[in-house]
Structures are given as structure tokens and as C-alpha cells.
Amino acid sequence: MVVRQRERRVLVVDDEENARLGLSKILELDGYWVHSVANGREALDFLQRQQVHVVISDLQMPEMNGISLLRELNRNHPGTRFIMVTAHGGVDSYLEAIDLGAYEYINKPIKLEELRLVMKKMLKKQRVVKTTH
């Protein structure tokens, strides 16, 4: 079964409102179903009620950073893909995120074509995995 792009559910997590709303709008215009929240705690609360295919999260946020959110996703939502975005990342956070299973690590400001390519590649790979199992 092929899932149409509009049925792909994305959760955007970023404490910077302009970044969160801008990224959400771009993804919606690209045909994704998008919900956004301001921090990792809100993301986990939302995920108790709704399943998503992809979480795109900022690294540095109050209350719960992106690495902690990724750890929780691994425990409670292991099939959810994760993309880390950050303006303040370094090699250590990159390696930790990738080691924990982040699909991609993107530096801010986000280049739209890079994000689109990552989303397309990730969701295509996810579709292949689902159809082969």
C-alpha cells in the first residue's frame, strides 16, 4: 500500500516560535500533515494521543532538550523517525544524536532544499522497509 504524502504526519518541536511556525508552514505547503509544539514535554504529551511518522526537533530547548526527547522516543515510540535541527550544535551533539538513531542532523538556518531532500529520502526509505517486512 502506498501512503500519500498528505497522510505523512510530522511533529515539529522548537521553542522558538518563528522557527516552529515557519517550518510547519513550509511542510504543510509541501503536503504534510503537521502539528507543532514548543518543547519536548509537550511533544511527549502529544505523542500519547497521536502517532506521527516524523519528529523534527530543535536540540536546545528548555525543560527537555532534543537529545532527551530522542531518548524518550526510542523507548516509547521506536518506529518514529527523528530529525535534529540546531543553531548551536557541535560534533559531540551530532555524534550522540546519530548514535541514538536520529535520521539526520541539520544545522540552522535550515536550507529548504536540504530539508525537502532529507524528508523525501527518509520517507521513501521508510516505505521500502514497510513493504519488505
pLDDT digits (tens, 9 = 90+) for 57-104: 999 999 899 999 999 999 999 989 999 999 988 899 999 999 999 999
Percent helix, strand, coil in the chain, to 5, is: 50, 20, 30
Residue 64 lies in a domain: yes
> Is the pLDDT score of 132 beyond 50?
no
What pLDDT does residue 18 have?
96
CATH number of 122's domain = 3.40.50.2300
Residue 113 lies in a domain: yes
> Is the pLDDT score of 2 beyond 90?
no
What is the residue range of 104's domain?
Answer: 5-126
Residue 27 lies in a domain: yes
Residue 108 lies in a domain: yes
Residue 70 lies in a domain: yes
Q: Which letter does DSSP use for residue 6 in this model?
A: G
Provide the number of structural domains found in the chain.
Answer: 1
Distance CA 73, CA 18 (A): 25
Residue 131 lies in a domain: no
Residue 83 lies in a domain: yes
The label of the residue with cell 525543560 reads 63
